[in-house]
Structure 1
Amino acid sequence: MPLDEIDHLLLDLVQADAARPLHDLGDAVGLSPSAVQRRLTRLRVTGVIRVDVAVLDPDELGAGMTSVVLVALTDDDEKHHTAFRKRMLAERRVQHCYSIVGQWDYVVVLLSPDLKASRHLSRKLFDQHVKRFETLPAFEVVKSSQSVPVPGVSRGSGR
């Protein structure tokens, strides 16, 4: 389904604030609230908008330490990769997990309360079929966003 300029503008706006009232969105893109609602419904039904979520502040919930972990598995056995991926998917404190190319097999982003908890979590998650891992605790969050660049929209709406 092709998206037009108004769809792109709406997507950019709801990425910044999915709770923004329909009339505000309509004013911003030149449509009535009902026309905005129809477009948003179409974008959800077709899967362009996968889910509407609330973005929580990890510091306020006692999970303010972010760590980036580089992981190398012991070998390329598909069973080991499958088991590793299942562990990452099952752990809520794993925020992101990427399979990568190079000397490391995965990059994992973890949230935890502090360094001690991060170490404990790493030992738990990376104890099976892992040759080595390196944990890089983040000193400061400069940018954290799930926003996707929307074609034709030049202003940034990410955090």
Structure 2
Amino acid sequence: MQLRHTSFILALSLLTSSPAWPSSEVKLHGTLINLTCKINNDEKIDIDFGNEVVAELLDGTKYKEPMMLPVKCNQDYNGDLSFTIIGEDAGFENTAVKTNISGLGIRFVDGRDSTKFLELNKPYTYNKPGNISLEVVPVKAKDAKFEGGDFQASVTLTMEPQ
């Protein structure tokens, strides 16, 4: 009985003792920053298409206006940034923001590639350094009929690290 008891204690001590395996300490560290980036120095952007936008000429290219938006961050940042155009889509196209006139929207286009329309509420990579280059153009829904009048729309542009 004494031998069985001693064997059990020996086996138990082997299970609970630390094996002679190598180990390594892991150090975790970094630098936390408060990154703030501003588009157009946080100033309002006003695009005026003029007083003579002819409904019959709205083809997605006529009345196109450029938007060069400077971006400035409070610190140098080597990571990726993205921008998002936040707004309610026109209902007939998710790249055009809704206006106060039914069937009329304002489309957002990549200023570096006029064939690339930018969807609302979707993040896009900001290619730094430099400006965000966009174009905006009035577009109409297929078969839309207009009585005329002043139109307006608004969006919010946001910038954030990816």
Query: By the TM > 0.5 criterion, same fold?
Result: no
Tell me which interval the TM-score lies in, with the shorter structure as reference length: under 0.3
Higher strand share: 2
TM-score when normalising by structure 2: 0.25
TM-score when normalising by structure 1: 0.25
Greater C-alpha radius of gyration: 2
Higher helix share: 1
